[in-house]
Amino acid sequence: GHGKCDCGKCKCDDGWYGEACQYPTTCNLTRKKSNEMCKNSQDIICSGAGTCLCGRCKCANSEGNGLVYGKFCECDDRECIDDETEEICTGHGKCYCGNCYCEAGWHGDKCEFQCDITPWEIKKRCTSPDGKICSNRGTCVCGECTCHDVDPTGDWGDIHGDTCECDERNCKAVYDRYSDDFCSGHGQCNCGRCDCKEGWTGKKCEHPHSCPLSVEESAKNCQGNSNLPCSGRGK
């Protein structure tokens, strides 16, 4: 909004400069306010990959290659360059915000590995018992599933299994990835299914077999603000 586009290049109005006329020549912000506007979600100014100019990040592209970009310079496509070939994603994929997305038949952080099994075999190995690829909870790479929810502290997460068929979240009454409250504390979670201790039942072991409450007390606890227990929609 501060210039005109002429054959793919900006001709800036007076008082503005930059490739997209995004920087004012005189800034009415304090340095503190400007820096605050340039901080990413980790409170790092321009992700440590650029300088802050009047509340906007100017990314470090000294060679004019445009590989560092984003509102806070958070995308660094230099991460996609293969050390040996010096090509982006080894020429076998596309780079988006520092991550390689590989063509079919290639995998690896920089698409440097070629898959040595057929597409049919890849699909077969990644198909879960319910017929879905990685149970719709993961990504299939060269016949191996990478599950979407691997815990950042290690290799074991709430979703696991060769085809991501096990979802431990099904064992929790209220899902919280940092809580160990599986099966209401009355059972063992095995591949997303609760095996209850003796004396307990229910999908999440939430119901005792024998109840210490009288029939009246039980009904009262279930009634709440409704005229009927369980609002007339349960037992």
Give the model confidence (pLDDT) of 86-100 as tens digits: 899 999 899 999 999
Separation of alpha carbons 227 and 183, rounded Å: 30
Give the model confidence (pLDDT) of 181-228 as tens digits: 788 888 888 888 999 998 898 888 888 888 888 888 888 888 877 788
Contact 168, 189 (CB under 8 A): yes
Query: What are residue 76's DSSP bridge partners?
Result: 68
Torsion angles phi and psi, residue 120, rounded to 5: -65, -45
pLDDT at 174: 64
Lowest pLDDT segment from 29-33, 71-75, 164-168, 207-211: 207-211
Lowest pLDDT segment from 65-79, 165-179, 190-204: 165-179
Instruction: Please compute the mean of the pLDDT values over residues 11-25 and round it to a whole number.
Output: 90
Lowest pLDDT segment from 23-32, 156-165, 166-175, 177-186: 177-186
Helix spans in the chain (H): 31-38, 119-126, 215-223
pLDDT at 221: 83
pLDDT at 119: 83
pLDDT at 150: 52
CA atoms within 13 A on the CB side of 221: 9
Helix spans in 62-199 (H): 119-126
Contact 110, 89 (CB under 8 A): yes
Pairing state between β 9-12 and 3-6:
antiparallel
pTM of this structure: 0.49
pLDDT at 154: 46
